[in-house]
Amino acid sequence: MLLFSTSLVAALIALGRTAPLVGSIGSTSRPASIARRDSSIAGPVTKSNFPDPGVIPVDGNYYAFSTSSMGLHVPWASKAGAQTWTINSADALPSPGAWAEARDIWAPDVIQLTDGSFVMYYSAPPKGDPVLHCVGVATSKSVKGPYKAVDKPFACPVKQGGAIDASGYQDRVTGLRYVVYKVDGNAKGKGGDCGNSIEPIVSTPVLLQQVGLDGVTLIGDPMPILDRDDRDGPLVEAPSIYQSAEGIYFLFFSSGCYTSPSYEIKYATATDIAGPYTKASKPLLKSGDGPNLNGAGGASVSADGKVMIFHANLSPRGRPLYRGVFTAKPRFDGRTVTI
């Protein structure tokens, strides 16, 4: 899952992905997808490669973090008020930890704890493995970093393909903290698009893990809350949770293959964070929904609900991948989101 700079209404991009197994999504009515008239989509707000963006509001400013790019493990950008996004030269994660290879850091996501400190979730290759990724955790007293990695991975199911795309969430009602991530089952696939379009197709579940108020300590076992189906192509990935003012949980995710125009942003809804989740009947965003929107993915909503950030491929011919940041203003109504 990768980064660089310009104006607010935008986000970041993504570099790599993969994952396995999950339960039913069960539900009756299916939420509709986005209405595209009067769209709030803006971007690209950066002209640099900034994939798999994650966004966090802090003291009236916004900070975004990207997959490895520009020679940095985790590039980051900031935006104050009505100013444009500015890419910073410092590496937010100087070292991914003793357990990880110092390369290909994917899809970082940052949360703020009640004591004012910060936790970053990210994916990195475990030492000695040239293919798989596992989820790591790092902490910092400043949103800007530097973040210090915990000595061992947060989630590393290597037999199932590893784990990627972790995103933190604190329930606005209960105050409990969770992390969602993808089991990278397609890393164990038989080939084809993103390694998983040749039968038998491998499961790529999204798992929900409760954590302590420190954002790090595991509580219980992870549970599957979503998985791919035939409409999703080889995988689902890049999960992120937001709860609307009406109490509906929106699980945003990407499907298709990140290297192609089939990559799309989708969402599913539930009345309980553990599900069951019902997928919307149509994608929230797909290639062609707007200028420069090709292979959009990696969407997440800021904790204050004001900004959705995501990336899209800016390469004229699709290759090489060069993902720029886009932003939008999400609007929630029942089980439907529009931007």
Question: Which pLDDT band, with edges at 50, 70 and 90, does 130 fall under?
Answer: confident
Tens of pLDDT, residues 290-314: 887 899 999 999 999 999 999 999 9
* 15: pLDDT strictly greater than 70: no
Question: Which pLDDT band, with edges at 50, 70 and 90, does 162 fall under?
Answer: very high
- Catalytic residue, candidates 52, 232, 264, 289: 52
Mean pLDDT of 190-219: 98
Please, which residues have CB within 8 angstroms of residue 175's CB and are 6 or more apart in sequence? 213
Q: What angle do CA 223, 274, 335 make, to 5 degrees?
A: 140
Main-chain dihedrals φ then ψ at residue 186, nearest 5 degrees: -65, -15
Q: Is 264 a catalytic residue?
A: no
Tens of pLDDT, residues 76-99: 999 997 678 999 999 999 999 999
Q: Are 269 and 83 in contact (CB under 8 A)?
A: no
- Indicate if the alpha-carbon torsion angle 87, 168, 325, 330 is positive or negative: negative
Query: Across all residues in the chain, what is the average pLDDT?
Result: 89
- Catalytic residue, candidates 104, 109, 184, 237: 237
Lowest mean pLDDT among 148-157, 180-189, 278-287, 319-328: 319-328
Could you give the CA distance from residue 136 to residue 163 in angstroms, rounded to a whole number? 10
Mean pLDDT of 19-26: 31
Question: Which pLDDT band, with edges at 50, 70 and 90, does 242 fall under?
Answer: very high
Q: How high is the pLDDT of residue 38?
A: 60
Could you give the CA distance from residue 228 to residue 326 in angstroms, rounded to a whole number? 25
pTM of the model: 0.89
Could you give the CA distance from residue 57 to residue 42 in angstroms, rounded to a whole number? 18
Q: pLDDT: is 10 or 305 the higher one?
A: 305
Mean pLDDT of 139-144: 99
Q: How high is the pLDDT of residue 39?
A: 82
Q: End-to-end distance of the chain based on CA atoms, in angstroms?
A: 24
Question: Taking the domain 54-338, which CATH number applies?
Answer: 2.115.10.20
User: Domain segments of the chain: what residues?
Assistant: 54-338
Q: Is 109 a catalytic residue?
A: no
Q: Are 125 and 104 in contact (CB under 8 A)?
A: yes
Mean pLDDT of 57-80: 97
Tokens of 131: 């293919």
Q: How high is the pLDDT of residue 18?
A: 33
